[in-house]
Chains A and B, each alone.
Chain A
Amino acid sequence: MTDNDRLNERLEQAAREYHRPPATPREEMWARIAAERAARREAPRVIELRPWLRWGLAAAAVLVVGVAIGRVTAPPSSDRAANVAQATAASSDLAYRVVAAQYLSRTEALLTGFRAEARGGRPDAQFAGQARDLLLTTRLMLDSPVAKSQRMRVLLEDLEVLLAQIATLPTSGNKEDVQSITQGLEQRSVLLRLRTTVPPGTQGAL
């Protein structure tokens, strides 16, 4: 056996210890999956931006905007006015969906980062600033057509509470406050609901 072979062998042995997983928490994960599946059966998803659909929607948005501009600039008639109203409504709905997907993706990243830092002690103050920005968007979302779905409304309301708690942490924050936020995250399966509401990769394409 050459030195290189020995090195490779040692490398493989040591690599097997890399992030060695604990026993699979089967029952806990299944309970969350089953709860989320049940919630989904009761309420349809609001945002269904699959990869192929994203480009289709983007093309449709361009088309809708183009048609709307054309109709607005053409001589007016009652039919045309109705068509413009329809096109504007469709365009507006798409815009809300795009903004919602971006917002949910940013919120997911913030909450994931917060949870990780919360375990290591007191989370960085930067979370509070970002939470304040997102809190404003959350409230706008709650007043938008995106919140028409009961499921999305409940998610937004949960996010509003969590973000408000994080936003006030620098002044009132202590271990108990941080713990209360992370407990809220876990008990309401907020991250799982967020992740499965935004399709993977959506934020990159939007």
Chain B
Amino acid sequence: MDERDLIARVRAGDGAAERALYDTHVDRVYRLAYRLAGDDDLARDFTQETFIRAFERLDSFRGESALSTWLHAIATSVVLNGLRKVKRFRGREADLEAADAVPGGGGRRAAEPDLKERLHRAIDGLPEKYRMVFVMHDVEGYTHEEIGVALGVETGTSKAQLSRARAKLREALADFAGEWVS
């Protein structure tokens, strides 16, 4: 069944088509939600919310982009909004974590966790939009075109944000560079 037929059937209220659409896209949506949230409960919430909103708004889908692109625009909006709410609530806690993840810190080197963990903390510490682009492109393999549509930015902006994200990560891990390349 091609995508147009599938969408038409979902619009007509066909439950099997809804399930087929879900099965086609759920892995990628859940993976992205999990990568960004780092928490199974939140990732499930965001994925469920994405599909509920998508089914409700399918009538407004004009087919100007691929369904997956449209779906990921909903998913990124749901995840960003959800994470902002969580972050606001955990404001004090997040500040403490961020302070802990300050780049450099050579004096504490011996007590540092391994490089992978250090990198993961550096990714957590990236500004929200840089982290989003970095995770989508470098971790999950989205193209800049897909990211641009999902985040509502130009492709060039996505490339620039990725470049800045990588630069920030390299900067954060500079004191480990010698070990990494050896």
Stretch of B46-54, B99-107, B143-151 that contacts chain A: B46-54
Which listed residue (B45, B119, B139) contacts A191, Cβ 8 A?
Answer: B45
Q: Mark B68-85, 1 if CB is under 8 A from A, else 0.
A: 000000000110011001
21 contacts between A and B (CB under 8 A): A7-B173, A7-B180, A14-B120, A15-B119, A18-B120, A18-B135, A21-B30, A21-B31, A21-B43, A29-B44, A29-B51, A33-B22, A36-B48, A40-B56, A112-B42, A112-B82, A116-B90, A192-B45, A195-B49, A196-B53, A200-B81
For A15, A18, A21, the residue with the greatest tally of chain B CB atoms inside 10 Å of its CB is A18
Which listed residue (B18, B26, B40) contacts A26, Cβ 8 A?
Answer: B26
Contacts of B177 in A (CB 8 A): 3, 7
Whether A29 and B86, one on each chain, are in contact in the complex, defined by CB atoms closer than 8 angstroms, is no
Which residue of chain A has its CB nearest to the CB of B41? A115
Contacts of B119 in A (CB 8 A): 11, 14-15, 18
Query: Nearest-CB distance from A130 to chain B (Å)?
Result: 9
Query: Nearest-CB distance from A5 to chain B (Å)?
Result: 9
Whether B90 and A113, one on each chain, are in contact in the complex, defined by CB atoms closer than 8 angstroms, is yes
Number of contacting residues on B, CB 8 A? 54
Query: Nearest-CB distance from A118 to chain B (Å)?
Result: 10
Q: Report the separation of the CA atoms of residues A110 and B88 in the bound assembly, to the nearest whole angstrom.
A: 10
Which listed residue (B55, B89, B134) contacts A113, Cβ 8 A?
Answer: B89
Which listed residue (A10, A26, A109) contacts B23, Cβ 8 A?
Answer: A26
Q: Report the separation of the CA atoms of residues A192 and B45 in the bound assembly, to the nearest whole angstrom.
A: 6
Contacts of B39 in A (CB 8 A): 116
Q: Report the separation of the CA atoms of residues A111 and B67 in the bound assembly, to the nearest whole angstrom.
A: 32
* A12 touches B (CB below 8 Å): yes
* A176 touches B (CB below 8 Å): no
Which listed residue (B26, B139, B166, B181) contacts A18, Cβ 8 A?
Answer: B139
Contacts of A37 in B (CB 8 A): 18, 52, 55
Which listed residue (B31, B78, B89) contacts A24, Cβ 8 A?
Answer: B31
Which residue of chain A has its CB nearest to the CB of B33? A21
